[in-house]
Amino acid sequence: MDIIEINKVLSNKTRVNILKWLKNPELNFPPHQDIDHFNDGVCVGYIQDKTGLSQSTISTYLNSMQNADLVIPTRHGKWTYYKRNEDVIKAYIEAIQNEL
Amino acid sequence: MDIIEINKVLSNKTRVNILKWLKNPELNFPPHQDIDHFNDGVCVGYIQDKTGLSQSTISTYLNSMQNADLVIPTRHGKWTYYKRNEDVIKAYIEAIQNEL
DNA sequence: TTTACATATCTAAAAATATAGATATGTTAT
DNA sequence: ATAACATATCTATATTTTTAGATATGTAAA
């Protein structure tokens, strides 16, 4: 868990929003067609729609979030779903509390 | 309190270190010559020495930290002392806890 | 009232980040 | 096999950040 790396990710409004939206997928995204749950998170397309940014930008963002271990990707067919990595997020919050 | 702005400041190792060092000035810095306390924090020169970076870089860092309200400067004669803004830091930590 | 000193600001160059279009990859449907 | 589609990667440009040297400002000491 690299605090500096995580803070870099979290120094962009869109990336923070993505992380927040993923707390409540059913509130922030339409239901998926092929599956009826958000157990593995939300597909890239929905996240892109919500932000209004380009597909490649969102992919880059999600990749940076994944590198910082803030999200976990899961492939289902042609879709990639992203969900929060709650363990790392929890550890990050605790580190901020204790060290800052 | 702007979380994005604060996260930008905290996405650099040196700036995070400065904030941490200022938690315990007496442990991390030599005593000041003119005063015998750290009530207003630590003078810029000591912070510069500790980091090994240039004077202008440290001044820029401290300025960005001040713009994000993470530190409070106080002038004493020719020295400027910087201390942590505990209220804002506390609010930031709580915001991270509650919103992230 | 000059000189020395601490810090801030200005200027500039290098590096990193943001963002998108084009292209590639992998999966599903036909 | 081919077409359609979701996502990833590559390439490129604009913007921002990093960092330091030079210079300016403000204070204190001689």
Cβ neighbors of B9 (< 8 A, separation 6 or more) are B15, B64, B65, B68, B70
| pLDDT the model gives residue A34 | 82
Output the CA torsion sign for B39, B44, B45, B48: positive
Strand D CB shell (< 7 Å)? A 43-45, 48, 55-56, 59-60, 62-63, 73, 78-81; B 8, 11-12, 14, 53-57, 60, 64, 75, 77-78
Instruction: Say whether A15 sits in a helix, a strand or coil.
Output: helix
The CATH class of the A3-99 domain is mainly alpha
- Does the pLDDT of residue A22 top 90, yes or no? yes
Residue A77 CA to residue B93 CA, distance in Å, equals: 39
- Contact yes or no for B12 and A4 at CB 8 A: yes
| pLDDT the model gives residue B33 | 84
In order along its 100 residues, chain B shows pLDDT tens digits of 999 999 999 999 999 999 999 999 999 999 998 888 899 999 999 999 999 999 999 999 999 999 999 999 999 999 999 999 999 999 999 999 999 9
The B42-43 sheet, strands edge to edge: B42-43, B79-84, B71-76
- What's the pLDDT band for A33 if we cut at 50, 70, 90? confident
- What's the pLDDT band for A72 if we cut at 50, 70, 90? very high
